[in-house]
Structure 1
Amino acid sequence: MAVVGGIAVPHPPIILPEIGCGEERKIETTIRAYREAARAIADMRPDTIIILSPHSVLYAEYFHISPGQTAAGNLEQFHVRGSSVEAKYDANFVSELGKLAQQEGFPAGTDGERDPLLDHGTLIPLRFLQEEGLGNVPIVRIGLSGLSVEAHYRLGELIAQTAETLGKRVAVVASGDLSHRLKEDGPYGYAPQGPEFDHLVTEALGKADFMNLMELAPAFCEQAAECGVRAFLIMAGAFNGKSLGSRLLSYEGPFGVGYGVAVFSVRGNDAAREFGKLYREKQAREKMKRDAREDAYVKLARASLEHYVNTGTVLHRPDDLPDELLKTRAGVFVSLKKRGELRGCIGTIEAMRNCIADEIIWNSVSAGTEDPRFVSVSRIELEELVYSVDVLGKVQPVESAEELDVKRFGIIVSSVGRRGLLLPNLEGVDTPRQQIEIALQKAGIGRGEPYSIEKFEVIRHQ
């Protein structure tokens, strides 16, 4: 046996009558579709149901699988008493999945349990499933993580492998709302990326086009304020290499949040739908192109951080570097991005070491391990990182914001021993005033305090 199908469903608390108090009638289409999806799961006659919830325990670099024999949850956080859901866990499945992950060195297991109560991302699907007679089917509850698209998909593959090993019929429930930015009066207001995101995701779900889900830009997902994509990706991984029947049953967003319901049934094998392999091959090709474009500055930054993360020691300066790296001194900033998002940035305003090469070596390590905004880079992240190196030019005093150009000049603001620096040509920084305000915030210089401004040009290597 193996994974036989699954559903993608939302988890709005208002869908339950004891919380909605009549408001749930505004999403009656979603409710009808939810019931149809639950009946589809019942028709699959699963031995185990996997529930993937964005609101279970979440770690940056680890997938938490809930341990134990049973679990329960209630609606008290929504000010409703006397309403609860109970479920039993498939401890055997959890154990086997954990062993498989451990054998592969994959970051998933039962460590780190913080709250055994069922979260609403699990509880709401369970309510619908139990109404269709599935109350005695054991579940496996799994949270999401801050890891890559590929890692979420791979976890789904491990779920499918576990199902085959145990000879169980397994159904997957991917619990997740879509955009929370569909309307001005919604929970997060309106953003144009919200409706666009919902259109792309519902279209992908309806067609079981999981490659399109995998290729959604993280920044775009964040702008749309979604919570379900990573759950959908784990489910997609569980269907890797399978021919699917797929139906988008409904889509609504009357409260400013997108609710989509989709059903998937496994029909057989299809090597053309091994999206994990296809995605990895595409990423490898893109990495080869990116590596080929890197100059000596960026290659040194990458080598430095990778050496430190893998060995715990600082890279010895290579002997084959260009003279410009060995015979010139300057301030250097090293920036790291992961999936288009900043992952670390540390630098020196003035030269602190013997040459630019040494500045790069040390600042690359600092960007990956000492930026206070982020946890240290782990080995599993190294292949995803994109580096840029900014070599700072001579600093010049500025008398007026009119002398600034956010695309050309970075700035340094100073006041009584505090300094804040902002590099040029940053996304989202469009005016000198914005540039100054952000630099003042970084320096901790308050409104009304006197400060001076300096500008500098950079040579950016990326």
Structure 2
Amino acid sequence: MLVAAAVCPCPPLLVPEVAAGAAPELDAARAACADALGVLAAARPDLLVVVGPAERSGRGPFPQGTPGHFRGFGVDLDVRLGQAADTGADAGADAERELPPSLAVGAWLLERTGWADAPIEGLGIGEPLAPERCAEAGREIAARAARVALLVMGDASACRTVKAPGYLDERAAPFDAEIARALGAADLAALRALDAELAQELKVSGRAPWQVLAGAAEGAGLSGALLYEDAPYGVGYLVATWS
């Protein structure tokens, strides 16, 4: 059963080495993410699953110890999804499999906060995945252990300003506002009802992972709290906790 969840944005710019001189601009987001991970640790889960958007080649699942990096963003920085599981096998056996960027950011957040509270797995979710399939995946995750926690990575629209990656779209701000409200209220029905086609048009990367969360939380009776909401660089970033 799902006992806690943290929702965090997944831009590589969250990593100070990637952001370089612009790093202070996301200090508040980083602090909120650290607080959100504290909620996960306090829940004392038996299993933590990190879920984020991914291309077809990077959907996993990814076992504990899977490596990732940020060299594609000009930074020679490696991360790992927790310490390699002690299976008696070579810890480098999965080195050819790498975390997609969203899960690499999640791994960086976990390393930054010193996560050592439960086994970790990663799952990349294809952004076109239909809402009902997302919910099904969430229910399967929640059934994996008696106490499951989710770290859900994803961004809201990338169309909030003329300088945004998707340019300005007047539909973006109200769409993001509804996402923020739903995450802050742990409103499962509202998350399930997110328009997948509109989300794609607005370059929302978190729609599918958030709908996985909605499926995982069915029957869990969790309450939500919105910790951070902003749109630096014209992209909606949200941090929330469910517990």
Which residue is equivalent to 2:141? 159
> Quick one: structure 1 residues 5 and 32, their matched pair in 2 at CA, closer, same or farther if it must change by over 3 Å?
same
Residue of 83, 86, 111 corresponding to 2:80: 86
* CA distance in 2 between partners of 1:91 and 1:172 (Å): 22
CA drift of 1:137 comes to: 3.7
> Quick one: structure 1 residues 150 and 173, their matched pair in 2 at CA, closer, same or farther if it must change by over 3 Å?
same
Say whether the 8 Å CA contact 2:46–2:145 is kept in structure 1.
no
Q: How many aligned residue pairs are there? A: 234
- Which one has a bigger Cα radius of gyration? 1
Can you give the 5+ residue segments of structure 2 that lack an aligned partner in the other structure? 88-93
Say whether the 8 Å CA contact 1:90–1:139 is kept in structure 2.
no
TM-score, length basis structure 2: 0.88
* CA distance in 2 between partners of 1:182 and 1:73 (Å): 29
Which residue is equivalent to 2:97? 116
> Quick one: structure 1 residues 69 and 51, their matched pair in 2 at CA, closer, same or farther if it must change by over 3 Å?
closer
* CA distance in 1 between partners of 2:195 and 2:226 (Å): 23
SS in 2 for 1:243: coil
> Quick one: structure 1 residues 130 and 42, their matched pair in 2 at CA, closer, same or farther if it must change by over 3 Å?
farther
CA RMSD of aligned residues (A): 2.3
SS in 2 for 1:23: helix
Say whether the 8 Å CA contact 1:4–1:44 is kept in structure 2.
yes
Which residue is equivalent to 1:229? 207
Say whether the 8 Å CA contact 1:10–1:176 is kept in structure 2.
yes
Which residue is equivalent to 2:66? 71
* Corresponding position: 1:250 with 2:228: yes
- Letter of the structure 1 residue corresponding to residue 31 of structure 2: R
Say whether the 8 Å CA contact 1:48–1:90 is kept in structure 2.
no
Say whether the 8 Å CA contact 2:36–2:239 is kept in structure 1.
yes
CA drift of 1:69 comes to: 5.8
SS in 1 for 2:229: strand
Can you give the 5+ residue segments of structure 1 that lack an aligned partner in the other structure? 93-112, 266-462
CA drift of 1:67 comes to: 5.0
* CA distance in 2 between partners of 1:237 and 1:224 (Å): 23
* CA distance in 2 between partners of 1:230 and 1:163 (Å): 22
Which residue is equivalent to 1:36? 35
CA drift of 1:159 comes to: 1.1
TM-score, length basis structure 1: 0.48
| Cα distance per residue 1:387-414 (max 9 Å; x no partner) | xxxxxxxxxxxxxxxxxxxxxxxxxxxx
| Cα distance per residue 1:100-145 (max 9 Å; x no partner) | xxxxxxxxxxxxx9x6111221121222222222147432111213
Residue of 126, 140, 158 corresponding to 2:121: 140
| Cα distance per residue 1:31-60 (max 9 Å; x no partner) | 2211111211222222321011102x538x
* CA distance in 2 between partners of 1:17 and 1:144 (Å): 25
- Letter of the structure 1 residue corresponding to residue 28 of structure 2: T
Say whether the 8 Å CA contact 1:74–1:85 is kept in structure 2.
yes
Which residue is equivalent to 1:177? 155
SS in 1 for 2:56: coil
Q: Which protein has greater RCO, CA pairs closer than 8 Å, 6+ apart? A: 2
